[in-house]
Amino acid sequence: MNKVLLISEDTLKTYTAINENVQSDELRFCILQAQDIFLQETLGTNLYDYMLNLVDTNDINSPGYVNYKNLLDRYIQPMLITYSYYLGMTNFYVKWVSVGLVQNRSEQGSNIDHKTFQYLKTDAKQQAEFNDNLLRRHLIFRSGLYPEYNNGNLNDGQLPPIPATPFQSSITIPTSAYSWGRGWRTGNCGNAMGPLCAGSPFPTWYGHTTNS
């Protein structure tokens, strides 16, 4: 099992509502979950393993890996912070003990009801998905900086990177017809944002070289 953490437990406490008195070993599992499940899906196994190795050997801080250092600091870590917090909410809401699952209780505060918990959980997930979307968008635009992103042997059980956005907002991008001006533009015609890519969740401007 992977034991390399791309964010520290202290970093997770600093940038979330997690209290300082929470034990680090309680948070380590959440971080590893976020890395192995969500980050690996976004990066693909090949780039994911490469990043873990760079951090493990500390090569990530060498001048020759400045692009990977930027990827880690600006995109991967914010995503992991929010996903780890999202996963941790469930882990801290209940505990698995010898008699079964029990809800945590504290003398310093009162328990929240399940409806409030669901609201907070949904809010945390949306923040995590937004940061995940920023990471995926960067990889689409700058995939040439990371050769491992498009390489890998899927026959070895590796996961391919998934570029489609995980963030589902209330705004829908049209795929076949779009009302603009006085009439409908359908089929392969464009809309106000430019023609849409066939079978892609992104319009053509999304990956244009002028975007950064």
Confidence of residue 104 (pLDDT cuts 50, 70, 90): low
In the three-class reduction of DSSP (H, G, I as helix; E, B as strand; rest coil), residue 149 is classed as helix
What's the sign of the alpha-carbon dihedral 42, 45, 50, 51? positive
- Give the whole-angstrom CA distance, residue 194 versus residue 203: 7
pLDDT at 164: 78
Evaluate if residue 187 carries a pLDDT over 60: no
pLDDT at 171: 39
What are residue 102's DSSP bridge partners? 95
Confidence of residue 17 (pLDDT cuts 50, 70, 90): confident
Least confident of 81-95, 100-114, 120-134, 190-204: 190-204
pLDDT at 95: 55
Confidence of residue 179 (pLDDT cuts 50, 70, 90): very low
Evaluate if residue 47 carries a pLDDT over 50: yes
Confidence of residue 7 (pLDDT cuts 50, 70, 90): very high
pLDDT at 111: 67
Residues 6+ positions from 39 with CB-CB distance below 8 Å: 6, 48, 76, 79, 80, 83
Evaluate if residue 168 carries a pLDDT over 70: no
